[in-house]
């Protein structure tokens, strides 16, 4: 798998994931320095926004835009994943009032490898490619966008549309839970 960085083809390492497949569990670091796991099955739909660096204009703009867009969704867990340093991310979250999403750090690059978004060469080596994953309550990837050129923004409209579609679907549940409705 590869993307381009300012037009230069750049390899990504890790497993390529596709829509309809199970989302892997990945360990990340929260801003209080505790470890947590994201991905997999969860009580709410997860929107995972992968950000190369909040220090750049495109990434910062995207984080702020997503922060505003997700306010309309009450049953959504929004997580922004970056490889920026902890102190910078804490300051960024406070100064930019990111309050609708949790920003976490892929300190061990486990998320990047498991989701196939770790840049493996060039000047951005060990950073994450720009991507978005929407994971349904059953832990299945329902939407994915890997931005082909790192300086481009994601398709916000398509992402919001995917979230709305999943939120409007009735929870499947297990067959034995539906026996009274027959």
Residues identified as active-site: 59
Measure the CA–CA gap between 135 and 141, rounded to whole angstroms.
5
DSSP letters for 91-131: HHHHHTT--SSEEEE-TTSHHHHHTT-EE-SSTTTTSBPPE
Burial of 140 (0-12, 13-18, 19+ CB in 10 A): middle
CB 104 within 8 A of CB 97: no
């Amino acid at each position: 798998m590869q993307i381009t960085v300012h037009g230069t083809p750049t390899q990504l390492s890790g497993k390529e994931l596709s829509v309809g497949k199970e989302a892997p569990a990945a360990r990340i670091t929260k801003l209080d320095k505790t470890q947590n796991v994201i991905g997999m099955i969860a009580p709410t739909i997860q929107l995972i926004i992968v950000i190369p660096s909040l220090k750049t204009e495109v990434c910062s703009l995207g984080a702020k835009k997503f922060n505003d867009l997700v306010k309309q969704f009450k049953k959504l867990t929004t997580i922004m994943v970056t490889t920026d340093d902890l102190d910078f991310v804490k300051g960024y979250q406070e100064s930019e009032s990111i309050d609708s999403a949790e920003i976490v750090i892929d300190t061990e690059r486990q998320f990047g490898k498991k989701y196939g978004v770790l840049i493996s060469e060039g000047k951005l080596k060990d950073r994450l490619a720009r991507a978005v994953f929407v994971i349904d309550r059953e832990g299945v990837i329902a939407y994915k966008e890997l931005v082909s050129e790192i300086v481009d923004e994601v398709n916000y409209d398509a992402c919001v549309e995917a979230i709305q579609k999943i939120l409007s679907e009735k929870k499947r549940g297990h067959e034995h839970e539906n026996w009274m409705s027959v």
